[in-house]
Amino acid sequence: MVPEAETRSVLDELQRLRARVPLLSGALAASTDGLVLAHDTPGIEAEGVAALTAAALGVSIRMTEATGRGGFRELLVRGGSGYIATYAAGSSAVLTLLAEDRINVGRLHLEGRRAGARIGELVDSALERVERTPPMPRTAPARTTQNRTLPQRPT
């Protein structure tokens, strides 16, 4: 998964985004399989939103492929009280923004796309470093004269 330092950087990006766009009520970065990477979503269950984002992403990817529209870039849902916008964030993450109904949608897209690109760079580079890091060698457990977890066989 994403190392803690990058997770903190992603959270910082989400908080800066919410400060720049006052009508954002929440921001969440998740893996494409629905795991929360970082969130700034007061009053919203982040894990549930991340799982729903993954489901919506799956449908969106199928729609873009079925209609020949290329790879997934973004999804916009408008409800009675506002918007939910999801943006691609690199190859393995997505950014979901919750916005009030009065938001300027053009500004939402501009800021969401920029933040998605920055978050994607952070997550993708962190995952590349993790994949390149060789696993730590396992040390064999110390030998003891008696097995303490399994009963001893009679001799």
Extents of the domains making up the chain = 4-132
Could you write out the DSSP letters of every residue in 41-63? -TTS-HHHHHHHHHHHHHHHHHH
Q: pLDDT of 56-93, one tens digit each?
A: 999 999 999 999 999 999 999 999 999 999 999 999 99
Question: What CATH number labels 4-132?
Answer: 3.30.450.30
Q: Is the pTM of this model over 0.85?
A: no
In angstroms, rounded to a whole number, what is the distance separating the alpha carbons of residues 103 and 81?
11
Q: pLDDT of 89-134, one tens digit each?
A: 999 999 999 999 999 999 999 999 999 999 999 999 988 887 776 6
In angstroms, rounded to a whole number, what is the distance separating the alpha carbons of residues 55 and 88?
14
At 90, phi and psi to the nearest 5?
75, -160
Neighbours of 43 (CB within 10 A): 7
